[in-house]
Amino acid sequence: MKIGITEIMIIIVGISFVVLIASLLPLIYSLTRTSKELEETVREARDTLEKVDKTIDKLNRELDEIDEIILSLLKTLNSASKALNTVNRKILAPSLGIMSFFPAIKFGWDLVSKRKKQKK
């Protein structure tokens, strides 16, 4: 039985195909393993993003509470300012003329006290 060039070429092509498939098997296995790892990484990233979303929601709620506290504080300070303004206008401003004599009276009293001590 004689083997012709065509049959030799078919055998060479067949062997080459088997060698090609055999050399691609590790690559296919590696790609499969990598895709599984990528799926796991994507799953972990999704879980982490959900946790981050929950944390952001919690922070937003706490910031809203802080805003309410600040607004309440501003209202309180505004009320205190109005009360002090009223005290200033109604009590301190009218009596300012009288209270301005106190230092002068004290100064005069001190002078009189010194003179009395000097006479003794």
Residue 106 lies in a domain: no
User: Is the residue at 24 inside a domain?
Assistant: yes
Q: Would residue 86 count as lying in a domain?
A: yes
**What does the DSSP 8-state code read for residue 90?**
I
Residue-range definition of the domain harbouring residue 48: 5-92
Residue whose pair of structure tokens reads 């098997």 in the numeric block? 25
User: Would 59 be classed as within a structural domain?
Assistant: yes
Lowest mean pLDDT among 6-15, 53-62, 63-72, 92-101: 92-101
Q: State residue 13's pLDDT score.
A: 95
> How many domains would you assign to the chain?
1
* 110: DSSP letter: H
> Which segments of 1-120 are extended strands (E)?
none
Q: Is residue 107 part of a domain?
A: no
CA distance 13 to 7: 10
How far apart CA 102 and CA 120 sit, in angstroms, is 27
**Which has the higher per-residue pLDDT, 5 or 100?**
5
**Is residue 70 assigned to a domain?**
yes
Q: Has residue 105 been placed in a domain? A: no
Longest dimension (CA), the chain: 158
Residue 104 lies in a domain: no
Give the pLDDT score at 24.
Answer: 93
Look at residue 119 in the predicted model and tell me its pLDDT.
Answer: 74
